Chain A
């Protein structure tokens, strides 16, 4: 499965890019996180504390145990600070 992975705010800064394409067989968001963590130190750092992160699949907020089945876009970002 080919996914667009998006990063925002300090997650984007730590990883060093706003968006990338990834071919993966990860079944859940957590599997994807594990895969990214093993890539490089900057990924391991960005994903070191998942309680400080939020995730969206296809622009809908979800949980780290959510299935990636049929997903096209996964975004990682810190808790939102709107308003």
Chain B
């Protein structure tokens, strides 16, 4: 028990993850984001998200690993709409990780907040602890109308009833890139070699993904923008997603 506590303390020391090869990070430029939701469909296609049906939506049981939140500001005619893509923030001090009784979610050496489906027993505690509301529970085993199941991505598990799921930063794509790097005898993957589905699809190039342990990576440069901020930073969750605020004219 004490070793676990010790380990957890170690993890939450600032800079703990700097010594590893990777710290996967995303920046989202809200000045580019138009709320078009291309990322939402990209994620659905890549990660085998279920088609849940109208009734499930009515019960707020839809599953979208990335969603666009919308916030109005002002009243007609001086009204503005602010879009913000919301997905798992891959927090370095993730509240969800402290909650899981079976370590189905923990932080790995790449700075990723993991979710291991076959370990999850479905207590849903993590979802309660998450201030970003980006964890989704499978209340049902979903099926696909034949032949839609032919589209399912073989690199991603199809989840069943009773497990929690959430954004993985497209771990399957990270894995393929690392595999290629090993084949080429490279220690690290190249900047831009890993592109999660949402980042890949973004028509305005608002999303940038990369390894922030590499100071030359594009994402490291984007993070330094004076417009950068983290959502609900005051909760000290230390998210791995840096948003760049929209420029007000």
A and B are interacting partners: no
